[in-house]
Amino acid sequence: MATTVDKSVMTAEQRKVIFASSLGTVFEWYDFYLYGSLAAIIAKQFFSGLDAGSAFIFALLAFAAGFIVRPFGALVFGRLGDMIGRKYTFLVTIVIMGLSTFIVGLLPSYASIGVAAPVILIALRMLQGLALGGEYGGAAVYVAEHAPEGRRGAYTSWIQTTATMGLFLSLLVILGVRTAVGEVAFADWGWRVPFVVSILLLAVSVYIRLSMNESPAFQKMKAEGRTSKAPLSESFGQWKNLKIVILALVGLTAGQAVVWYSGQFYSLFFLTQALKVDGPTANILVAYSLLLATPFFVVFGTLSDKIGRKPIIMAGCLLAALTYFPVFTALTKAANPDLAEAQARNQVVVTADPKECSFQFNPTGTAKFTSSCDIAKQVLAGASVSYENVAGPAGTVASIKIGQNAIPSYTAKGLSADEARKKDVEFKKLIGDDLKAAGYPSKADPAKMDKVMVTAILFYLVLLVTMVYGPIAAMLVEMFPTRIRYTSMSLPYHIGNGWFGGLLPTTAFAIVAQTGNMYNGLWYPIIIAGVTFVVGTLFVKETKDYDIYAND
């Protein structure tokens, strides 16, 4: 029996409820993304026992831990949402998220309590991930089940703005605190303030969630005794539904996720780590781009009600796959023209015996690089310098060629700790002097930065985000029946965004560390966006005209 809902006009009370759910979701995303925005500082606070490069990658892994557990949150809270209701699930997720964030702000650093600090930090990130895994699906379903027929794209697109608005809010708070206390104090203790003040957002969010009404579709279904008794087995144990879940993942959310995280996170990390733009400037420019592009979530969501969800999402994935390399190259020229010029004029080349070279990913800090190849690459990676690899004769000592000048590396095997430190200082000084002489800047020069062009490029990257993300909530809701909708749509969304998207910064920077080319990390989102475009175009059906109650 189909559920009867008002499909014509959205009442004032329904608008209020949808606004309330969206606002609460903004606060939850704010909590989740504070960590990502402060990854560089958190690396120094909680992973100070590692070298700088490994500390940053490990901080990104802790960031990714929150994404890795999101599908499990989707299973736990999706099941609850389909069995007992959307509203109560909202309350649980916001409390878990808010308290976890607040505790991060009070957590002692590595210098105070040692290895317990990063262990607790990762545990808190996992709790945040579990909470967020139950949040998004509920919010999207809740709004869609209140929306009038033919307007689901427009109404659910407001939920799609919440992730960007949460990120924007986190950047604003960080910039405000940074400005108020200064860079030194912020790096020391001021970074904790945005986490601690989130307790106020938690109070507002809980109040908002308590004032919400249950979805009319779910109320009707529950009153008639038609709620699912086993949403997990119905969603994933029956092939007719499981195949749609798989298509939703591979043909929609995986590509959407990598475009989202490339545009709103990897671009920020690329500015600060690869292009050496100072943190406040990078945050301001990203914030400008978010402010300019955010309305397009609603634009593309509304457009999807007219021309369909699929063509807009597929176009965003295709544009990303085709343009990322030239766009990020242009970003380098605009943000750090000295670096771009130095790379063009004086290429850095590492010549080494390939058998001497190991993977430059050292998250535990236990690996000791002793070969001349590893030492050379570690110095360049630490200086954020792109380089080309050339295979040298077997048994030869690695060398770094900067322009026309070649500097031999050294082997640390057999050296005492003091001897190794002395060699390291001497080698880094030689490399640093040659890089400086070749025009490689130690940091981006704000006076030479084309901030208008940087903002325009970042705007384009976020515009692609709005194309793939604006219509996707409506499309996922429309793919599944009410009784298992929360569970069925949450899992592919959070595997796509939690695993494919959340692991993007870590994976991309590991690729860069291994290959030496700062653009090679882009292959990860390009390949996945390309796969989604092909699979989505061939196998995913358009859903805009579906009756979301027809299969109840």
Could you tell me the residue ranges of all domains in the chain?
12-336+446-539, 341-437
Task: Report the pLDDT value the prediction gives residue 51, as an integer from 0 to 100.
Answer: 63
269 touches 331 (CB < 8 A): no
Res 172: pLDDT: 87
Contact assessment for residue 506 and residue 64, using Cβ atoms and an 8 Å cutoff: yes
pLDDT in tens, 221-247: 667 666 666 667 776 777 888 899 999
- For the chain, report the end-to-end CA distance as a whole number of angstroms: 6
Residue 134 confidence (pLDDT) above 70: yes
In the chain, the amino acid numbered 525 is: P
Q: Which amino acid is at 31?
A: D
Q: Is residue 551 scored above 80 in pLDDT? A: no
Angle between helices 451-469 and 254-261 (to 10 degrees): 160
Task: Identify the band that residue 14 occupies on the pLDDT scale cut at 50, 70 and 90.
Answer: low
Q: In this structure, which topology does domain 12-336+446-539 adopt according to CATH?
A: Growth Hormone; Chain: A; (1.20.1250)
Q: What is the pLDDT at residue 366? A: 42
Rg of the chain, C-alpha, whole Å: 25
pLDDT of residue 227: 66
Look at residue 123 and tell me whether its pLDDT is greater than 60. yes
pLDDT tens per residue, range 450-491: 999 999 999 999 999 999 999 999 999 899 887 788 788 888
Quick check: 468 and 257 in contact, CB under 8 A?
no
pLDDT at 175: 86
What average pLDDT score do residues 96-121 get? Answer: 87
Asked if 484 and 82 count as a contact pair (C-beta separation under 8 A), the reply is yes
What is the average pLDDT score of the chain? 84
pLDDT tens-digit readout, 482-515: 778 878 888 888 888 878 887 787 788 778 877 8
- Element (DSSP H or E) covering residue 56: helix 52-68
Neighbours of 377 (CB within 10 A): 26
Tokens of 3: 């559920």
Q: Which fold has domain 341-437?
A: Glutaredoxin (3.40.30)
- Please indicate whether residue 110 or residue 332 has the higher confidence score (pLDDT): 332
Nearest to 291 by CA among 178, 193, 171: 171
User: How far is 294 from 316, CA to CA, in rounded Å?
Assistant: 15
Backbone angles phi, psi at 348, to 5 degrees: -100, 130
Non-local (6+) Cβ contacts of 218 within 8 A are: 85, 86, 145, 227, 482
Q: What is the pTM of this model?
A: 0.82
Q: What does the block give as tokens for 439?
A: 């025009």
- pLDDT exceeds cutoff 70 at 49: no
Token pair recorded at residue 489: 């749509």
Residue 338: which of 385, 399, 408, 389 has the closest Cα? 385
**How many C-beta atoms lie closer than 10 Å to residue 10's C-beta?**
16
